[in-house]
Amino acid sequence: MCLSPLALALIFLSLPLSQTTAGQVPAARVREAELARTPFSAGDLNITLTQFRASFLKIGNGIVEVQVVNTAPTFTSFSPLKLTFLGSDNKQTDVLAIQIGDHYWRAEDRRIAPGARTKEFYALNDKVKLPARLYYDEKLLAEIVE
């Protein structure tokens, strides 16, 4: 069976133009103002960005406060270094360090007890240009829009 060029063009144009791969569910679009009320599921973890600033006064790097809840009946690891933002300029921004005031400590994996919740404030290594995609451990969680 041979399809005409017109039929092939119509089939191609009817395909969704998204940035997801085969078998991947499209990410939810979440407004920046709604992030604190929107948990994202990543395996046994529920991840919520309780505070998010894409940049500091448009010149400094971004920051994020992350709350993680372990929904598993066993201990589970959370790695802040697996949290990635991909800005609309295709620039990747990652967690750089734990930030408390003007002090910074290396971000490390956390073991979270069954049913427990933990919250940490992180400095990012660059600005995040919105809209941006949010990933955890290579899984697309959401697209953050203004």
31 belongs to a structural domain: yes
Residue 90's pLDDT is what? 97
Q: How confident is the model over 90-138, as pLDDT tens digits?
A: 999 999 999 998 899 999 999 999 999 999 999 999 999 999 999 999 9
SS3 content of the chain, % helix, strand, coil (to 5): 15, 45, 40
14 belongs to a structural domain: no
Q: Looking at the 3D structure of the chain, how many domains does it have?
A: 1
* Residue 122 CA to its chain's centroid (Å): 13
Percent of the chain with pLDDT over 70: 82
Confidence (pTM)? 0.80
Q: Which of 60, 132, 69 is nearest to 142 (CA)?
A: 132
Q: Which has the minimum average pLDDT: 1-10, 25-34, 43-52, 99-108?
A: 1-10
CATH code of the domain covering residue 121? 2.60.40
Residue 7's pLDDT is what? 44
Domain extent, residue 129, equals 23-145
Q: How confident is the model over 48-87, as pLDDT tens digits?
A: 999 999 998 878 899 999 999 999 999 999 999 999 999 9
Residue 8's pLDDT is what? 38
138 belongs to a structural domain: yes
